[in-house]
């Protein structure tokens, strides 16, 4: 069910061609500075993978993948990406990346089962996927926060560059990002759901990193779903909580809600993966090639995530709909309603 937010007072601050130039400016600036901040090298990434490899992300484990058959490979089955969460870690090993080094790439995915196409959600997903080799000693919340702080520093630097290039767009990021654990967030706002809790905390602070997403909370519910075989959401944090992952949220006044621009975290080691596969009832994945490599110690410990390219452009260019910064397929009634108020979807 599509839910479209329209604002009669909204007016795009730039036309279509200027918007396209702005998109390129932001993408070029952000990725160059992200690579410098985290010591990342750009690599090429696939659009699809062989089915059954265990490399593709399964999101919550129920979403259908866009799939096709490869004629000249005996009509073998291939499937389009959901994300590159596991592929990146494999590449770190195969390309010989060392401690403190990492990679980033353009990830383009198709998610046909997206339940709600709206101002923020699209069948087409584009993000910077990044992954960096880490040590056993760095598998803690302090290191996770340090990495988040570096990424937020790049966001602040990008905002300053956008302000200099397009003075009609005023900065609005706070000086610092606020950290909060999902369990503590539940304690702060016990009478509302996860999205409402995120909106409340992000509106208060402007930029928030919610730690610990995937494990069951005190109320027996999940803050949000996470696959069991990439982020570590069950290892202890040292303060009575669990979870070495999280989301970066920015408050977006145009939609009066929190805007998730990154899902990231310290990745599972063999012990955490086995524990989480057991919780999700997915022990059969241990027979897949990628999972065997992790269990055999062939993949490095790593931290990584995805940063939404279009959402970032939407935020910095002050757009009301993600379709103003990337091309996709939208319900016809949505396209028409947007046209009626002067919103042109690419």
Question: Which pLDDT band, with edges at 50, 70 and 90, does 1 fall under?
Answer: very low
With helix as H, strand as E and coil as C, how does the chain read? CCCCCCCCCCCCCCCHHHHHHHHHHHHHHHHHHHHHHHCEEECCCCCEEECCCCCCCCCCCCCCCCEEEEHHHCCEEEEECCCCHHHHHHHHHHCCCCCCCEEEEEEEEECCCCCCCCCCCCCEEEEEEEEEECCHHHCCHHHHHHHHHHHHHHHHHHHHHHHHHCCCCCCCCCCCCEEEEHHHHHHHCCCCCHHHHHHHHHHHHCEEEEECCCCECCCCCECCCCCCCCECCCCECCCCCECCEEEEEEEECCCCEEEEEEEEEEECCHHHHHHHHHHHCCHHHHHCHHHHHHHCCCCCCEEEEEEEHHHHHHHHCCCCCHHHCCCCCCCHHHHHHHHHCCCCCC
Model-wide pTM > 0.95: no
pLDDT tens string 36-83? 999 999 999 988 888 776 676 655 555 677 788 888 888 888 888 877
Q: Is the pLDDT of residue 262 over 60?
A: yes
The token duo for 291 is 């999972």
Query: Alpha-carbon distance 3 to 25, whole Å?
Result: 30
Quote the CA–CA distance of 88 and 131 in Å, as a whole number. 6
| Residue reference for tokens 């409340």 | 200
Alpha carbon of residue 142 to chain centroid: 20
The overall average pLDDT reported for the chain is 92
CA 122 to CA 110: how far, in whole Å?
9
Statement: residue 168 has pLDDT above 50: yes
Residues recognised as catalytic: 57, 111, 127, 247, 260, 263
Q: What is the pLDDT of residues 106-136, one digit of tens each?
A: 998 887 777 678 888 888 889 999 999 999 9
| Inside any domain, residue 336 | yes
Average pLDDT over residues 174-194: 97
Nearest-angstrom CA–CA distance, 147 and 132: 10
Strands 207-211 and 178-181: parallel
Which of 34-43, 112-121, 195-204, 262-271 is least confident? 112-121
Rounded Cα distance, 27 and 237, in Å: 34
pLDDT digits (tens, 9 = 90+) for 213-252: 999 999 999 999 998 999 999 999 988 999 999 999 999 9
CA distance 145 to 238: 14
> Domain with 231 in it: what CATH number?
3.30.930.10
Compute the radius of gyration of the chain from its Cα atoms. 20
Q: What is the pLDDT at residue 340?
A: 84
Q: Does the pLDDT of residue 141 top 70, yes or no?
A: yes
* Any domain includes 95: yes
Residue 58 pLDDT: 59
The pLDDT tens digits for 304-338 are: 999 999 999 999 999 999 999 998 888 888 888 88
Has residue 118 been placed in a domain?
yes
Chain centre to alpha carbon of residue 264: 6
* Residue 300 resides in a domain: yes
Band (2; pLDDT cuts 50, 70, 90): low
Query: Is the residue at 135 inside a domain?
Result: yes
Number of domains in the chain: 1
Cβ-based neighbour number of residue 44 at 10 Å: 7
Domain that holds residue 304: 16-340
Q: Does a structural domain hold residue 140?
A: yes
Q: Return all residues near 254 (Cβ < 8 A) that are at least 6 apart.
A: 7, 10, 318, 319, 320
Residue 264 forms part of a structural domain? yes
């Amino acid at each position: 069910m599509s839910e479209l937010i329209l604002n009669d007072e909204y007016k795009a601050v730039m036309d279509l061609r200027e918007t396209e130039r702005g998109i390129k400016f932001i993408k070029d600036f952000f990725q160059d500075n992200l690579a410098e901040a985290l010591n990342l090298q750009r690599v090429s990434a696939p659009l699809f993978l062989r089915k059954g490899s265990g490399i593709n992300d399964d999101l919550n484990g129920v979403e259908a993948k866009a799939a096709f058959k490869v004629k000249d490979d005996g009509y073998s089955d291939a499937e389009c990406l959901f994300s590159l969460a596991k592929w990146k870690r494999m590449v770190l090993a195969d390309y010989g990346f060392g401690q403190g080094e990492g990679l980033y790439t353009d990830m383009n995915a198709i998610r046909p089962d997206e339940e709600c196409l709206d101002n923020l959600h699209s069948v087409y997903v584009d993000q910077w996927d990044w992954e960096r080799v880490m040590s056993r000693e760095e598998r803690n919340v302090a290191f996770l926060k340090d990495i988040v702080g570096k990424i937020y520093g790049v966001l602040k630097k990008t905002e300053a560059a956008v302000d200099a290039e397009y003075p009609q767009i005023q900065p609005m990021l706070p000086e610092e990002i606020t950290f909060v654990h999902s369990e503590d967030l539940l304690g702060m706002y016990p009478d509302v759901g996860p999205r409402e809790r995120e909106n409340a905390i992000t509106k208060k602070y402007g930029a928030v990193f919610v730690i610990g997403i995937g494990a069951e909370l005190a109320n027996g519910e999940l803050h949000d779903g996470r696959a069991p075989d990439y982020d570590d959401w069950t290892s202890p944090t040292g303060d009575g909580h669990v979870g070495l992952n999280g989301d970066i949220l920015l408050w977006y006044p145009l939609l009066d809600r929190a805007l998730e621009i990154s899902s990231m975290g310290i990745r599972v080691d063999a012990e955490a993966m086995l524990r989480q596969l057991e919780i999700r009832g997915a022990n059969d994945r241990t027979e897949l090639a990628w999972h065997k490599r992790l269990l055999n110690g062939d993949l490095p410990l790593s931290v990584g995530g995805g940063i939404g390219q279009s959402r970032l452009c939407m935020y910095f260019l002050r757009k009301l709909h993600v379709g103003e910064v990337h091309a996709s397929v939208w319900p016809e009634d949505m396209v028409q309603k947007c046209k009626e108020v002067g919103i042109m979807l690419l």
